[in-house]
Amino acid sequence: MSDLYVSWAEYHSQIEKLAIQIDQSQWEFDQILCLARGGLRVGDVLSRLFDKPLAILSTSSYGGKDFQERGNLKIASNITMTTDTLGGRILLVDDLVDSGVTLMNILEWLKQHSEFQVSEVRSAVLWFKACSVAKPDYYVDFLDDNPWIHQPFEKYEKLKPQNLL
């Protein structure tokens, strides 16, 4: 397994490529549900580009040294959104599909919450790793060597506010 280092410019370019792909598919969706933390920036930009409401569901499965140890998936009990409910056709957004466990579990979680009135879900990520057990509907890069992806915002995971002085 190699490492992939992504700059801010490359990161934003990936989001733009994903937006083009989604747009060219001509699939109409009603809302974006992003998985925070990794999908938060992606969801924000797509929400602005497509002018669609953004809903946020916090999830967590990585921790340990440099946040590179996969643990049990934790899913928040509530979705944060500015609409009355989550419903219709949903674009589920994250930064990447690594093992695919998060994507599979969130799709199942949405099915179990019938109060949301979701009619269709499609998933979109920047990176899709070959080791994943789930395939996203939209992705920019397929990574057959399953690299660890170092995203530009990760530097803040090792900093404290006093380090910024």
For residue 1, the model assigns a pLDDT of 58
How does pLDDT run across 44-75, given as a tens digit for each residue?
999 999 999 999 999 987 555 555 556 688 99
What is the dotted CATH code of the domain comprising 3-164? Answer: 3.40.50.2020
| DSSP string covering 49-74 | HHT--EEEEEEEEEESGGG-EEEEEE
Question: Distance between CA 44 and CA 24 in Å, rounded?
Answer: 19
Percentage of the chain lying above the pLDDT 70 cut = 93
User: What's the whole-number mean pLDDT along residues 8-16?
Assistant: 98
For residue 68, the model assigns a pLDDT of 56
Q: What confidence tier does 3 reach under pLDDT thresholds 50, 70, 90?
A: very high
